[in-house]
Structure 1
Amino acid sequence: MSLIFKLDILLFIITAIFTGYNLFFVLAALFRQRKKEINHVDTQNFAVIFAAYKEDRVIKESVESFLKQNYPQDKYTIVVVSDHMEEATNLALSQMPITLFVVDFKDSMKHKSISYALDHLDGFDRAIIMDADNVTDTDFLTRINEATQTVKVLQAHRTQKNKNTSVAIWDGISEEINNTIFRKGRVNIGLSSALIGSGMVFDFEWLKKHMHECKTFAEDKELEAILARDNVFVDYSDDIYVYDEKTARQDILIRQRSRWFHAQILAFSLIIKDFNPRKLNPSYIDKIIQWIPFPRTVRFLLIFLMILFWSVVAFPVAIKWYILLFVKIVTYFLAIPRKMYTRDFWSSIIQLPSMMIALLRSYVESICRVKKKDMRFNNTPHHITKENNHG
């Protein structure tokens, strides 16, 4: 029995450390960061890259939306890399005032499309990476231009553009929790923001130099590792939005999250493999801790299992787990922006257990992907929604 108690204490300490670590960044995110005053604002030249793999349903709407920017037209170029899209889609895109690259990769990967575009582009100050379903406000480039005057890399605030199902609502909530913990909280204390795959702004020459180092479907995590290794700060703008379509169906969510969990495992293995004590810096250390493959869904499950076990076997032992569960719930409630506490949110609470089970399933599938060495990029199917107008 003493072995069980020792194991209980060990598991509690590990889980409490992760919970406390997240709570620290949530509290840090509650404080507003002072914006740096800039005396002179240069009008930078932007390459806005949409890597579109089988994205016929959404790419035209996204491009048309972005063409409405109030930024000088001669200072930005929309670039679409069309991979395995229909001829009709490519024809429609070719008639728009954009740069279109049509590629046909045998093993399609987002990093291949981005690298192809960068290899065929020159003369830009910044590269912005967008997903095919992303739309923005009309002042997006103007504000990005101001925000990137003194930083090399910036992550914009990606947020949901659809709330058509309870799955989409919880997908959006999950992303906002991540924005609070891994982006706003980090930047507020001087650590690099996490990247998120789109709404990413890079110094053009830096990205052109390093993009070819990416070899997997987890290109955003690979870029994060390179940035951390080279001690390049990644800023975050909480008030510059990129509207992203959230997953509306649970089966698609499971497939998507299995890829994301796999990406986290890959990122952890890559940063450990390339570990260099001489290049240690706070953001590098933070990435190692952040990417330990112990996701919050598994931590929640562990807490519930320990509560159930000790409530039956020895209730006093369970008390600390009840307290930890309370702290964890409070942490995530604080991480959710107040504006998201809507009627839709409260009505979808009943779906939370089902969502947790789906996330656990996706974690199991990610382990299977790792064992099978499945490195395929599976794009997320989209469902066109017209419920929100931005800009």
Structure 2
Amino acid sequence: MKTVGLINFILSIAFTVCYLYQFIYLLAPIFKKSKPAASATILHRYGVLISARNESSVIANLIQNIREQNYPQDFVTIFVVADNCSDDTAIVARDTGAVVYERFNTLEVGKGYALDYLLTRISEDYAKDAFDGFFVFDADNLLDENYIAEMNKTFSQGHKIITSYRNSKNYDANWISAGYSLWFLRESQFLNNSRMLLGTSCAIGGTGFLMHRDIIEKNGGWKFHLLTEDIEFSVHSIINGERIAFCKNAVLYDEQPTEFKQSWRQRLRWAKGFLQVFQKYGAALTKAVFTRRSFSCYDILMIILPAIFLTMFSVLFNVVATIAGATLGYDVSSAVNSLIWTFINGYLLLFAIGLITLISEWKQIHCKAFYKIMYLFSFPIFEFTYIPIALAALFGKVEWKPIIHKEVKTLADVRGEIRKAG
């Protein structure tokens, strides 16, 4: 059992060495303030890309929300790809003022294929320089009314890929939606914001980002079709020398799953997608870390080979050691104690991360104080559920499946809840 203790010690050292830099990320917003963006003097023309599959219940609110932006509407064209829809998403989107293309392809399934199709159709129907950049949103999103104006300021500074602050529409629905929400707030404030402050590259988080048309032309459209196409795009961009920027003042509201079955399916896809991206780009990222001394490549390498896999290996190792030792008649108390302390330390670490995020982003969280505090205690448990998910991703076959959205809210609804929450 001494070997068990040694291996656990090595794993803890490996974990600390890999992720110690993120402690600096926690401190960056405290000690380093962002420079105010200069007022944009250029009004850029933007295309808005929305991939929607059976989203008739929520897409009208997003389109209307975009039409109410504090940005000249003559400079914004909304495009929707109704992807393999069996409802009236296309009709609703057209009636609300979007340019709609319908796509029916059951062989190439996923948001990446839908975006590539949409960009191809736009290139056929519009001039090459019709748009300076393209936003990407999901149909369930809502935007702060100054979202495009704030992103335009950052875009006008010369940044070609920009991600935004990801908030949530339904934080207080239950412990699952709260778990997602708190993690995304942490990513916005203590990952992407810190990266922006420190001059390294950020990462795209699925929705709410802006690309210069040069990026699309350089890539030949949207050629990212792994299960996590956003991370694949981020990795590909960083490897090729692009720096992804962050616009903290551009706030996007996203709907989070509330059912564990749906959450499992979504996060299983993410976990499998991380593995796919690592398999495809891991060698190139590792090489860039040493040959180019690229911290951005190291940072995103730690994202696609996340801490959950080290934690999963540690838990599995101690479980196997305990069972094997007990079967052979050895004293397994050290393995049992190690397993217990792995969970205790993990809970305390995640609780601390959640607490720091909660304090920092208190005013951004859309619910009453009671729910903010209560769901802080369930946040580590939500993150622990990644352990079996990561294990299933290693050995199981995973396919892309759509997420059903039910939160039919306007921006006024969300803000009304904030005011009621005090």
1:362 partner letter = I
Q: Does 1:267 pair with 2:277?
A: yes
2:390 partner letter = Y
| Shift, 1:326, TM fit | 4.7
Q: Deviations over 1:171-210 (max 9, x none)?
A: 2112112223431122221111111011111102312431
More moved, 323-332 vs 18-27: 323-332
2:3 partner letter = L
User: What residue number does 2:78 align with?
Assistant: 78
SS in 2 for 1:194: coil
User: What residue number does 2:177 align with?
Assistant: 168
SS in 1 for 2:187: helix
User: What residue number does 2:125 align with?
Assistant: none
2: CA distance, partners of 1:361 / 1:4? 22
User: What residue number does 2:300 align with?
Assistant: 287
Runs of 4 or more off by more than 6 Å in structure 1? 314-325
More moved, 2-11 vs 346-355: 346-355
1: CA distance, partners of 2:195 / 2:332? 37
User: What residue number does 1:333 align with?
Assistant: 355
Question: CA separation of 1:346/1:5 partners in 2, compared to 1, >3 Å: closer, same or farther?
Answer: same
Question: CA separation of 1:166/1:286 partners in 2, compared to 1, >3 Å: closer, same or farther?
Answer: closer
Residue pair 1:23, 1:331 contacting (<8 A) in 2 also: no
1:14 partner letter = A
Q: Does 1:137 pair with 2:144?
A: yes
2: CA distance, partners of 1:92 / 1:216? 29
| Shift, 1:89, TM fit | 2.7
2: CA distance, partners of 1:252 / 1:19? 29
Question: CA separation of 1:356/1:142 partners in 2, compared to 1, >3 Å: closer, same or farther?
Answer: closer
Question: CA separation of 1:216/1:98 partners in 2, compared to 1, >3 Å: closer, same or farther?
Answer: same
Q: Deviations over 1:33-81 (max 9, x none)?
A: 3325537520000111101123233222221222212211110101101
2: CA distance, partners of 1:383 / 1:142? 28
Structure 2 gap ranges (5+): 123-127, 323-330, 417-422
Alignment of 1:248-327 (within 5 A): 248-275=258-285, 276-277=287-288, 281-295=294-308, 298=311, 302=315, 312-313=333-334, 326=348
1: CA distance, partners of 2:138 / 2:277? 21
Question: CA separation of 1:37/1:187 partners in 2, compared to 1, >3 Å: closer, same or farther?
Answer: closer
User: What residue number does 1:152 align with?
Assistant: 160
Residue pair 2:45, 2:131 contacting (<8 A) in 1 also: yes
Aligned-residue sequence identity (percent) comes to: 18
| Shift, 1:299, TM fit | 6.3
Residue pair 2:226, 2:277 contacting (<8 A) in 1 also: no
Residue pair 1:258, 1:365 contacting (<8 A) in 2 also: yes
| Shift, 1:219, TM fit | 1.4
More moved, 239-248 vs 91-100: 91-100
SS in 2 for 1:381: coil
2:245 to 229, 235, 241: 235
Q: How many residues align?
A: 386
SS in 2 for 1:130: strand
* CA-based RMSD: 3.3
Q: TM-score, normalised by structure 2?
A: 0.81
Q: TM-score, normalised by structure 1?
A: 0.86
Residue pair 2:60, 2:96 contacting (<8 A) in 1 also: no
User: What residue number does 2:197 align with?
Assistant: 188
Structure 1 gap ranges (5+): none
Residue pair 2:309, 2:390 contacting (<8 A) in 1 also: no
User: What residue number does 2:406 align with?
Assistant: 383
Q: Deviations over 1:260-319 (max 9, x none)?
A: 11121122222224455455522122222332243289369749x79xx89954999999
SS in 1 for 2:210: strand
More moved, 130-139 vs 273-282: 273-282
Residue pair 1:82, 1:103 contacting (<8 A) in 2 also: yes
